Structure formats: structure tokens, C-alpha cells
Amino acid sequence: MAKVTFQTNICKGCGLCVVACPKKLIELSGGLNEKGYHPAEITNQEACIGCAFCATMCPDCVITVEK
């Protein structure tokens, strides 16, 4: 099982990781971070396959994928 973590206070909610996830496990949060953006979050950690497409697409490097 892979573990995906986000640095939510740096995330600007661009949504590139949401589109990149082949399992559709990432969505933008309903809440706001310190900068006023809706940060990305994973909806089902157990279903993550650890492909790291989300981390590769992130322009701000806020996603860490551990296998």
C-alpha cells in the first residue's frame, strides 16, 4: 500500500494532480488553506496504487508518495 501526503499550506489548488490520478482518488478540499486555496487531498488512501503521477504533475512539489 502506498501513502500519499500533501503539504496543504503550500498547495494552490491547481487541480493537475486530480486529473493525473488514474484511480480518481484525489480531489480539492472544501476547506481553505492559509493562502486561501482549496488544497488537494486523497479520498481513499488504501486504494492508492503508488504510481506517483500526482507528484510528477505537481508544479509546486507538495505531494509525497511513499511505497
Name the residue ranges covered by the structural domains of the chain. 3-66
| Cα–Cα distance measured from residue 24 to residue 37, given in angstroms and rounded to the nearest whole number | 20
* Averaged pLDDT score across all residues of the chain: 97
- On the question of pLDDT at 54 being above 90, the answer is yes
| Cα–Cα distance measured from residue 54 to residue 18, given in angstroms and rounded to the nearest whole number | 7
Q: For residue 46, is it left (φ>0), alpha (ψ between -120 and 50) or beta? A: alpha
**Nearest Cα residue to 52 out of 21, 12, 19:** 21
Choosing among 3.30.1330.20, 3.30.70.20, 2.60.40.10, 3.30.930.10, the CATH entry for 3-66 is 3.30.70.20
The pLDDT, as a whole number, for residue 1 is 81
- On the question of pLDDT at 47 being above 90, the answer is yes
**pLDDT by residue (tens digit) across 1-18?**
899 999 999 999 999 999
- On the question of pLDDT at 67 being above 90, the answer is no
